[in-house]
Structure 1
Amino acid sequence: MLLDETGLINERFNSDFAPAEAMDALWAAGWRHFGHEFFRYNFGIHAGRVMRVLPLRIDLARFTFSKSQRRNLRRNAGLDVTIGQLGVTEESRSLFKRHRLRFTEGRPERLEDFVPATASASPCESFQISGREGGRLVAESYFDLGEHSASSVFAMFDPAITAAGLGIFTLLKEIEHSLDLGLEHFYLGYAYDKESFYDYKKRFRATEYFDWKGNWREFQTE
């Protein structure tokens, strides 16, 4: 039986402000947020199948980059990368419109469904990583900072540049930045217990999953 003693969890609330220590506590309890909407759920539907949701995080004290991740960082070392406060631009929206065409299921409609347009409109400290090639925006991702942890929110890249692994690249830069800040955990977001397009989140060393009973456990890669 798919449901266990934890039962079905599907909770939401809205908040205009959440201090850094509150964000740490929310992430540690399996919560996510897009803009002012906070949510957590332990089951989802993908490809017509009901699947268990796995909140994932990295224990940064034990984390090291794999060989393939280091190759990705070297491959994209020529990009002009900046890290700054959240600030959605028309260039960001144009990149999103191209990126969204990659999806055949659950295609996102608006960038602002994931992140507010400005840092001041976010309920917590929100930042972005932008990657440019020849001055043109080719990748951008958004993440939040708590007191002792960070959480990835959304990433997008130019689908015409597939070989560079730009989606993974900006995620690696988020992790790198979290290490530089001396944070304890980096939250990767949700994945499923079965194969899905979220499986890239399962490929990081020192990854833990939330068991929906209040515990974070070591995630065993296949």
Structure 2
Amino acid sequence: MDALWAAGWRHFGHHFFRYNFGIHAGRVMRVLPLRIDLKRFTFSKSQRRNLRRNTALDITIGQLGVTEESRSLFERHRLRFAEGRPDRLEDFVPATAVASPCETLQLSVRETGRLVAESYFDLGERSASSVFAMFDPAITAAGLGIYTLLKEIEHSLDLGLDHFYLGYAYDGESFYDYKKRFQATEHFDWKGIWREFRNE
């Protein structure tokens, strides 16, 4: 998996893909695969605030296992999207660990026992890759989408990994811009080289 991610590949479910151009808001835009160099990474002040704000939440990280509670959360989450609304959770992650083409972990966030956010990320030998995240849209102040990503990064740091792959963003303004706000981020130039990313 490490070699595939390093060459700009992604996967949703059983489908592996990569593309260097996409269409967003009716415009053709260049795709930027992004990753974090974990050896140089530090959390920003706002990211540390997000982690502190959510310390009362219960976090579990374990083997992939989509539940009915997961699907119910997905149905609420998908309504956030005016464009490109996702259809099924299984389009992003298989229902079970056995069905996954690689090791996939499930990060669940609960508030007083209720599932309020969940994310999925893959593990390689020296890197990890974020796959999909969802949260209850009724809880906006907590920044749960960013929170799950921060906890994935934190787990990758604890494992001593080299890189954390954020996925794709666009070379231009889009709903993926949150991926550009992490320190020590690099982008793939589609010529085999990862270069330092500057969010200007």
TM bucket (normalised to shorter chain) is: over 0.9
Q: Distance in 1 between matches of 2:153 and 2:140?
A: 21
Q: Which runs of 4+ in 1 moved over 2 A?
A: none
SS in 1 for 2:60: strand
Residue type of the alignment partner of 2:182 = F
Which runs of no fewer than 5 residues in structure 1 stay unpaired? Answer: 1-22
Residue type of the alignment partner of 2:119 = S
Q: Which of residues 194, 201, 210 in structure 1 aligns to 2:172? A: 194
Residue 72 (str. 1) matches residue 71 (str. 2) = no
Question: In the alignment, which residue of structure 1 is the partner of 2:148?
Answer: 170
The two structures, once aligned, show a CA RMSD in angstroms of: 0.3
CA drift of 1:122 comes to 0.2
Residue type of the alignment partner of 1:188 = L
Question: In the alignment, which residue of structure 2 is the partner of 1:111?
Answer: 89
Deviations 1:25-48 (A, max 9, x none): 000000000111100000000000
Deviations 1:132-153 (A, max 9, x none): 0010000000000000000000
Question: In the alignment, which residue of structure 1 is the partner of 2:189?
Answer: 211
Residue 50 (str. 1) matches residue 28 (str. 2) = yes
Q: Distance in 1 between matches of 2:43 and 2:20?
A: 29
Q: Distance in 2 between matches of 1:206 and 1:199?
A: 15
Q: Distance in 1 between matches of 2:63 and 2:43?
A: 25
Over the matched positions of the two proteins, sequence identity in percent amounts to 88
Normalised TM-score (structure 2): 1.00
**Number of aligned residues:** 200
CA drift of 1:173 comes to 0.2
Question: In the alignment, which residue of structure 1 is the partner of 2:123?
Answer: 145
Which runs of no fewer than 5 residues in structure 2 stay unpaired? Answer: none
Residue type of the alignment partner of 1:66 = S
Q: Distance in 2 between matches of 1:49 and 1:221?
A: 20
CA drift of 1:221 comes to 1.5
Q: Distance in 1 between matches of 2:113 and 2:35?
A: 33
Q: Rg larger in 1 or in 2? A: 1
Residue 184 (str. 1) matches residue 162 (str. 2) = yes
Residue 26 (str. 1) matches residue 4 (str. 2) = yes
Question: In the alignment, which residue of structure 2 is the partner of 1:126?
Answer: 104
